[in-house]
Amino acid sequence: MGETSVASGAARLLAIAPLSAAQRSSLFLILARQPDVTIGEAVRDNAGRTGTALSFPFGPAGSPWELLTLILSDDGTVLEVTERAVRDQKIPSSTAHAEATRKGDVISRTTYFEVGGTNVTPGA
């Protein structure tokens, strides 16, 4: 399992699983200890909330984007996930109106207002 798999899996669990505070803390530590991760304190998400940002300088093999910047609240809840271009290329982005995307442009941003699992059966 590579760095991307660990980071993606942990981020997905933080976003959708009904985790305890201890479990969130453990996943945060796993993410924060990945090679070359940059940690930013008091970073604001798109909704103006403040959290800790974990930026990963890698993405899946051949992908056009840097895996993500995760912004987490104090309790480890995911506030936002942002993907940025790692090179100039022709893909749509949310910061460039044309198809030309420059290195560093936001390709996608997901801002979470509520996260967690459910105990309700689909269709019930």
- The DSSP line for 68-110 is EEEEE-TTS-EEEEEEEESS-EES--SS-SSSEE-TT-EEEEE
Report pTM. Answer: 0.72
Q: pLDDT tens digits for 45-86?
A: 999 999 999 887 765 555 655 656 777 788 788 888 888 877
DSSP code at position 3: H
**Residue 118 pLDDT level (bands cut at 50, 70, 90):** low
Tokens of 99: 């198809």
